[in-house]
Amino acid sequence: MDVYLDYQSSKPVDPRVIEAMQPYFYTTFGNPSSLHSSGDKATRVLDQCRHTLADFIHAQPDEIIFTSGATESNNLSLIGYAMRNKNKGNHILISEIEHISIHNIAKYLEKNGFTVTKIPVDQYGRVGLRKIEERITEKTILISIGYANNEIGTVQPIAEIGKLCKGKGIAFHTDAVAAEGLLPLDVEKDNIDLLTLSSNDIYGPKGVGVLYGAKGFRMTPIIIGGGQENGLRSGTENIPGIVGMAKAAEIIQKEMAEEVKRFQGYRDRLIENILKTIPRSHLNGHPTERLPNNAHFRFDGIEGESLLLSLKDKGIAASTGSACSSKTLEPSHTLIALGLLHEEAHGSLEFTCGRFNRDNDIDAVLKALPEVVERLRKLSPLYK
């Protein structure tokens, strides 16, 4: 692709990360569970990486659990915590616009004796504290609200939600994948008990993730085996991948302020120019409380899939929503939750910029998109 603006679905691995990983494939390849010197080296590396990832979110090293990715971390946090604490209650709250992995985990829990209540959002995708409070019962043991939405970019009032949960003695989980590397994360300040991270979303390798679990929060493991990761995630640790994730976190901590400023410039250029030059175009998500790299639009009278294919022909990669559910023909559950009609939700297009974008990428979109929209509308029976 000449222009890649789908960084929310997948990011390239930073070359500096690849360089850091290389020795752990063929020279320092020991198993941390082994008792010889090679195993000792691997253990030291694993401990160093645990410290780095803990610093990234202001946690303690022994609160970091390495997993195979965000989906596993979400499973361990929700299923593991719910099963371990079902004697305290069987009620869980999630928002209507959670990532599809959270929704499917919720369905699994419902089949296994739990009650899940979905909290509605406003027209911008924000969860209100009053709506949470109204749905809490004496059996509520866990609330899971994503830090920011991976489609529309809306950022949630996480600190306020965390304070509410702490005051009521309810565990608070947040999937922070969409926000990591774009917003500062502080589990202590925000009263977060369980937090999900993904390696690839900070320019590390795929197949690695982290679950932060605050001290004292006990979970039932969902992968049983040799008892690695304090018995919570069995399986030989993926040392090269973990090294890559730690290096990615180290880089992004140093460079985030500069990157975010650049991304905001790209985002604001897209929003301002597209809304100004394309009639009957609309911004999805919150106008100000949104991720710095996210510009999500809908266009009356045309479908997002047609827009994607037309932009693809011009060498531009974008998205219509979550890559994890993009193969279905159903409209985004997030956009429907905002109150949009099905035909409105189908006309959406998402641009997410990243580390390797430059000004000319935005120029290319602003040149191509008005022509594409105009041509598709002329062909559309829905546009009047």
Q: Which residues are catalytic?
A: 324
What does DSSP assign to residue 210? E
What six digits make up the tokens of 39? 């195993």
Q: Which helix (H) or strand (E) holds 249?
A: helix 239-277
Query: Which among 255, 203, 211 has a CA at the least distance from the CA of 17?
Result: 203
AA identity, residue 344 = E
Whole-number Cα distances in Å, 99 to 106, 152, 266, 343: 11, 12, 25, 21
Q: How many CB atoms lie within 10 A of CB 325?
A: 17
**Secondary structure (H, E, C), 337-351:** HCCCCHHHHHCEEEE
Instruction: Please give the Cα distance from 166 to 53 (Å, whole number).
Output: 24
Contact 239, 24 (CB under 8 A): yes
Contact 121, 96 (CB under 8 A): yes
Q: Is the dihedral of CA 245, 247, 248, 253 positive or negative?
A: positive
Tell me whether residue 57 is exposed, middle or buried, using C-beta atoms within 10 angstroms of its C-beta: 0 to 12, 13 to 18, 19 or more: buried
